[in-house]
Structure 1
Amino acid sequence: MRRRPTWSELPPSVRAAVEARLGTRVTAATSHDGGYSPGLASTLSTAAGPVFVKAVPVAEEFSARVYRQEVERSSVLPPDVPAPRARWVLDVPADGTEGGWVAVAFDAVPGRAPRTPLIGPELGAVARLAREIGAVEIAPGVLPELADELDVTCTADLAADRPPGLATYDPWFVEHLDDLAALEEHAAAAARGGALVHGDLRADNAVLVGPGDDLRAVAVDWPYANRGAAFFDLVGMLPAVQAEGGPAPEEVLARHPLPAGTDDDAVTAVLVALVGYFVARSLEPDPPGIPHVRAFQRAQGAAGIAWLRRRLRA
């Protein structure tokens, strides 16, 4: 597992600014080392109760922007959504020795991370969470439209550019890129809908709460919240489930089916777009501060390709 910076490793000026914003001292901190961003992600214990805080240098431009976006989008989620409440965004200015930082705070969720691989009751809890999120209706204009933010050109770009490393994937995928790109053209329309979409639901973005038969999951990390198709989060998480050693997508869907009325062709079009994204990104250089993400994208791409072959009976 990757390791994030801990509370004690933050610059003193950042710790002081966070404590001032909290209005109390931090007495203990528990780091949450999963996920794919380079900053602090810790539950901080205080006299006023626990709070979950993330912090990153503003020089990490992508992560800093995503942290701000997460608070913005989390703040408009309906109150019945299984998600922690966003509290605040804090800008810590540069001082004589340190550059600036951005910190964000959320309610702490009293639970635990799912085990890897995601199987059994824990998989069931996260799959039910995906269905629960997709059952929430969102009015137009509250969140961005998934169809406008989903990357729906990666497969076509792969077909046109044939980048180095593409041949390391399943030859079937490489040989059929033009046909798959034609399916990808329908992905934006397929992603439209009036449901809440988490947009990045995986085991590392879920917290398990409750024992035994009462086990349930809460979704965290909402920077990509959208309005779109109710099936998206369940479909989107399944390549990661298999990539991390869990069951194949069809096995999961046999127990936890997609929402009633889901169109098979829409699922296929969206899956092509997701696979194209994973493959294309896996062939790019490592992003600063996150050297492990390309391998995970590759594993998801490979799992998604295998699922596509089965869906298309190829």
Structure 2
Amino acid sequence: MSRPPAVGGSRVPWSRVPEEVRAAVEEFLGGRVIEARTQEGGFSPAAAVRLRTEHGRRAFVKTVGPEPNPDTPPIYRAELRIAAALPESAPVPRLLTGFELAGWVTLVFEDVEGEHPELPWRRDQLDRVLEALARMSRALTPSPVADAPTVAEVFGDSFHGWRRLTGEDTAGLDPWALRHLGELAELEAGWEEVAAGDSLAHGDLRADNILLAGERVFVVDWPWACRAAPWFDLLCMLPSVGMQGGPPPWELFADAEPAVVAAVAGYLARQSRQPPPPGLATVREFQRAQGVVALEWLRRRTGWD
């Protein structure tokens, strides 16, 4: 098995965070930071650090400014709004505070002593995560965040990748997808209605957004949270599981809705063909690898030859 692409952005070290932002965090924590450990993984060109103060207090801080990617601060603002509204019963690190200063959006969470799942996926860890995901879906139905956006509002045209590809250069597109492009555009057209629901979905679940801490499973990074069908997170997560050495998605979710599988596969197929966003050099390779798995799932789910 070839090694899956790494998840990694351009992490900003704590020392390069503006002084006024660092000072505000220290004031909240009640002491000078004497240890700052950058946490790798994730695509965001931001600081993601586990901090320890002179008095022994710990926290996890993520903070981002307008460069190199001006689209990232609004994403962090969305996460701050969602994180502040999540109930204590949600399997998430507790948000301690959040603020915006000097153009930087900062979120301060409790520090969770956990690790990401091992890759390639171990089946015992995957089973733990899938069970936790099922519990989370039940606990967050109906959505405890009443004003969370709908799945259509969050993903909108992004999940009409096949339709958009019908008007673009398709050189190098998978031959099966190219042969069925018009049919795929029609199939994905119904995804919004099928995926609608009143569960609060994470919207971007992957191994790097999961922490295993003893017997507990924590889900982190919620900027794409939305109201959706209770199975939406599972469906969206499975292409990355298959790509990262786990079972293929058709073995884990045999009756997945074809329209939503088409929407996810089309999103990955089209996005992976775009130039990388500023500061996110590896994201397209990651999407491309997920797209291979999602497309095979779609081929099997449709039964088209």
Q: Distance in 2 between matches of 1:53 and 1:162?
A: 41
Task: Report Cα offsets for 1:105-156 as digits up to 9, x if no partner.
Answer: 1222221111112231111122223212221211683311113322332221
Shift of 1:11: 4.0
1:43 is matched with: 50
1:257 is matched with: none
Task: Report Cα offsets for 1:78-124 as digits up to 9, x if no partner.
Answer: 2211011222223232xxxxxx4222112222211111122311111
**Aligned residue type for 1:88:** T
Shift of 1:27: 2.1
Q: Distance in 1 between matches of 2:104 and 2:231?
A: 36
**Secondary structure in 1 matching 2:127:** helix
**Secondary structure in 1 matching 2:129:** helix
1:313 is matched with: 303
Root-mean-square deviation (Å)? 2.0
**Aligned residue type for 1:181:** A
**Secondary structure in 1 matching 2:265:** helix
Task: Report Cα offsets for 1:177-204 as digits up to 9, x if no partner.
Answer: 1111111111000111121201001100
Shift of 1:48: 5.7
Q: Distance in 2 between matches of 1:12 and 1:149?
A: 34
Matched, 1:209 2:199: no
- 2:204 and 2:224 in contact (8 A); partners too: yes
1:258 is matched with: none
1:140 and 1:34, CA in 2 relative to 1: closer, same or farther beyond 3 A?
Answer: closer
User: 1:83-162, aligned counterparts within 5 Å?
Assistant: 83-93=92-102, 100-135=103-138, 136-137=140-141, 138=143, 141-151=146-156, 152-159=159-166, 161-162=167-168
1:188 is matched with: 192
Shift of 1:74: 1.5
- Which of 266, 269, 272 is the matching residue for 1:279? 269
Q: Distance in 2 between matches of 1:251 and 1:119?
A: 16
Shift of 1:9: 3.9
Q: Distance in 2 between matches of 1:123 and 1:150?
A: 26
Shift of 1:250: 2.4
Count of equivalent residues: 291
**Secondary structure in 2 matching 1:41:** strand
Which structure is higher in RCO with an 8 Å CA cutoff and minimum separation 6? Answer: 2
**Aligned residue type for 1:244:** Q
1:48 and 1:68, CA in 2 relative to 1: closer, same or farther beyond 3 A?
Answer: farther
Unaligned runs of 5+ in 1: 94-99, 255-263
Matched, 1:197 2:201: yes
Matched, 1:58 2:36: no
- 2:194 and 2:259 in contact (8 A); partners too: yes
- 2:90 and 2:136 in contact (8 A); partners too: yes
Shift of 1:50: 1.6
1:154 and 1:132, CA in 2 relative to 1: closer, same or farther beyond 3 A?
Answer: same
1:149 and 1:91, CA in 2 relative to 1: closer, same or farther beyond 3 A?
Answer: closer
**Aligned residue type for 1:170:** D
Alignment TM-score, normalising by the size of structure 1:
0.86
Q: Distance in 1 between matches of 2:145 and 2:22?
A: 39
- 2:42 and 2:208 in contact (8 A); partners too: yes
- 2:235 and 2:253 in contact (8 A); partners too: no
- 2:94 and 2:109 in contact (8 A); partners too: yes
